[in-house]
A and B are shown apart, each in its own frame.
Chain A
């Protein structure tokens, strides 16, 4: 589902307006604006301490913003309790109540609302069935595996009939195999319930695989908020390109302007790369990103490198076999790493070895220009 595809009917549209959060002297979130369409699967992505969990907790109502407003379906919810907001949160460790059975955990919200016992038990069982855990109703959380606990936590949150479900690193406690399985399960449940999911993670591939919308964060700021495909293919800043991965990022100061190209100094070597129609000024910061799988490796030994357009020369410093492809790391003249992902068939036709001198080149249309302001930062 594309974000906002059915935004007219979908509930749970979220808007953050100039939101700032301070804890004492530290600023966790700096003046953020963000719009998440209703019914979207949105991933907040970033390293630990970037403010993503704080944003989640502010939407959930477990923290109040120091400044700014949080809107859900165009209604300011700052100061309201979680249930009044129509949000529900799934905690990182799930926080299932250890003294209650799965059924009673799921029925907890109904119990505190004063729903009669027979009715709440029945509704809890229905919800357990929807996450395929009905036969575990009488177990205690400690008797369940991580994946099963997560389903119970989901059911417990969903029974409040939220318009937004907030998930704090929901897959981090699971092993690799389960993580992939539960990833699909989360997406299935989100589609089935038709509500917004906001999922905090520090794993790039998790975000790319799940999200309609990826919000990449760093140091309390949003670096880019875009569709998963745009974040991967068209990162706005060097930070996003490096964090999402799969890209070679080259930044430097412009030394010379040629027709359709610039010579840049990366602080160790010079590179001649394609440039946009309006050439940047001499001395300006300039940055590009080229996908690792869109680079061609030339095995011609002793090839002159560096002065050719859109190419780089160096020595193979590492080889990693990945099954269907190989990760070839080249150390260039400036001592920086450049990575080529090459299909296994291409590689094994004419293999290279660690220590070989090679060059790598790419077509002008593969060059992605990074925003100038972000490069100089």
Chain B
């Protein structure tokens, strides 16, 4: 046996840079989740415990306290409002982003201008957007509320995001699918519902996820437009100034769990769709026919 041995992948032997970068990454993760985990741990503080370590026992006391309105403000109401508002924002964002994305596939007169106009609202300071909307409502003597002015304010934030995602999704969409649908006798409406939407579904779920999470923790645009009733982030903001019990931490834990459930549902369903569509092809030799 002469000649060099074929290169084998070498497991277990890694360059020094690997350990350096891995260590750096570990630091980053600790920075990202360390402070938050302190909150999660402290939310299980015993009934006699305080806002800081040490833990005086472990209990669900502060989660119960959360829902007792008289102690911590209207948490349950704010939570319900935020979920409903996020659902509204999600629906409008998904529908508008799909429609706008489809429209932008055809270059229409002024399309570039309209696009930059939409994107510009991403860059504008949110607090100013909220202030502007609040002032305008005041000018016309309309009551600001979470389901009117705040909904609009949040949409200025979620729609450009949704549009950008749809651009990315549609740029990879093969028009031959639509032509095939047309070739097979489908109407435009049938092509849209039976071909375009199902194929784009993972991207559409992505838009929905953005719409939901951006709305759920939106603060600057909502602050001056939510009117008399608070959304959850504003409720939390209020509590940081007047609640001096670990109920505040319990609230942090609950909202984080909701966010994680939303993200897991969305990413999980995307992964499921992708996996279903991309199972390994059968080996060519077993095709059988005409062999």
Contact = CB atoms under 8 A, between A and B. Distances in A.
B185 A82 contact: yes
Given A95-B174, A140-B276, A142-B278, A108 B186 contact: yes
Contacts of B273: 99
Given A91-B179, A148-B287, A109 B184 contact: yes
B82 to A, nearest CB: 33
Interface string A69-101: 000000000000111000111011101111110
Contacts of A361: none
Contact of B185 (A62, A132, A136, A160): A160
B289 A99 contact: no
Interface stretch (B55-63, B147-155, B190-198): B190-198
A143 interface: yes
B176 interface: yes
A278 interface: no
A144 B174 contact: no
**Residue among B184, B194, B276 with max Cβ neighbours from chain A (10 Å):** B184
Nearest to A141: B277
Interface in B239-291: 273, 276-284, 287-290
Contacts of A95: 174, 176-177, 179-180
Given A98-B199, A140-B276, A185 B177 contact: no
B188 to A, nearest CB: 11
Contacts of A377: none
Query: Interface extent on B, as a size class?
Result: 20 to 34
Given A62-B179, A89-B179, A145-B281, 9 more contacts: A82-B184, A88-B184, A93-B176, A112-B186, A112-B187, A113-B185, A140-B277, A147-B287, A160-B184
7 contacts: A62-B182, A82-B185, A83-B185, A97-B180, A109-B184, A151-B289, A157-B184
Interface string A177-213: 0100100110000000000000000000000000000
A89 B284 contact: no
B277 A99 contact: yes
B183 interface: yes
Contacts of A117: none
A55 interface: no
A97 B177 contact: yes
A156 B280 contact: no
B183 A82 contact: yes
B277 A109 contact: no
Contact of A142 (B174, B279, B288): B279
A262 interface: no
B282 A145 contact: yes
Contact of B284 (A92, A99, A112, A178): A178
Contacts of B282: 136, 139, 143-145, 148
A61 B195 CA distance: 19
Interface string B133-155: 00000000000000000000000
A83 B280 contact: no
A77 B186 CA distance: 18
A302 B284 CA distance: 55
A119 B290 CA distance: 28
A109 B282 CA distance: 26
B280 A143 contact: yes
B183 to A, nearest CB: 5
B199 A111 contact: no
A133 interface: yes
